[in-house]
């Protein structure tokens, strides 16, 4: 009887060790998959392609920063925005279960994957039949985009807020042209 109990205890110990190891491997796999993404799209010019890049830096969600940049076709960096993982996680805490680090890593991986999704590229940024409203910070820039036909890009700041950006040929910089709720 004692032998059976010892074997049972040994089997349970091996099972527990294997199960605990899978969780660690899962977290390591998630960290390896937190690579950056790059997309080439016409943005500051209607014909030439700019480089959109998003990279996640850091090992733990508490230290992570998602870095978004746009580099023009001539090599000049025209936009740079950093998002702290803690801020992104905080913005979704009420709607998602993000208490465990594994869930946080999964969320950050999903955010990274969706950031440069095709639906976020707006061609053109503003169509002829669209009109500026209360969520338009600069009506002159909005009208410039209508005339130029340049493309736009949108990204989420939170579960409820999206920011739309585009290249201003007059100001020679990327600026927001719309910010609103989803």
Percent of the chain exceeding pLDDT 70 equals 80
Residue 97 pLDDT: 86
Helix ranges (H only) for the chain are: 2-32, 85-92, 101-115, 139-148
Q: Which helix (H) or strand (E) holds 79?
A: strand 77-84
Q: What digits encode the pLDDT tens for the residues 157-166?
A: 887 889 999 9
| Mean pLDDT (the chain, rounded) | 84
Q: Where are the domains of the chain?
A: 36-181
Sign of CA dihedral 8, 10, 16, 18: negative
Distance CA(38)–CA(7), nearest Å, equals 53
Residue 21 pLDDT: 41
Q: What is the pTM of this model?
A: 0.79
**115 touches 35 (CB < 8 A):** no
Where residue 84 falls among pLDDT bands split at 50, 70, 90?
A: very high
Where residue 9 falls among pLDDT bands split at 50, 70, 90?
A: very low
Asked if the model's pLDDT at residue 28 lies above 80, the reply is no
Residue 94 pLDDT: 76
Q: What digits encode the pLDDT tens for the residues 125-143?
A: 999 999 999 999 999 999 9
**Across 40-59, average pLDDT:** 96
């Amino acid at each position: 009887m004692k032998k059976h109990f010892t074997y049972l205890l040994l089997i349970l110990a091996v099972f527990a060790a294997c199960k605990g190891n899978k969780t660690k491997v899962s977290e390591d796999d998630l960290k390896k998959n937190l690579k950056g993404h790059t997309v080439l799209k016409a943005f500051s010019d209607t014909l030439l392609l700019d480089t959109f890049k998003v990279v996640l830096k850091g090992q733990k969600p508490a230290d992570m920063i998602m870095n978004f940049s746009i580099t023009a076709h001539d090599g000049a960096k025209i936009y740079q925005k950093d998002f702290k993982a803690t801020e992104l996680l905080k913005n979704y805490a009420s709607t998602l279960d993000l208490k465990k680090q594994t869930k946080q890593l999964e969320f950050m991986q999903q955010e990274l994957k969706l950031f440069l999704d095709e639906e976020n590229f707006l061609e053109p940024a503003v169509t002829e039949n669209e009109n500026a409203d209360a969520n338009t910070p600069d009506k002159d820039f909005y009208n410039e985009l209508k005339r130029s036909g340049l493309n736009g890009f949108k990204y989420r700041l939170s579960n409820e807020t999206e920011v739309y950006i585009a290249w201003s040929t007059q100001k020679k910089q990327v600026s927001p042209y719309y910010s609103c709720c989803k």
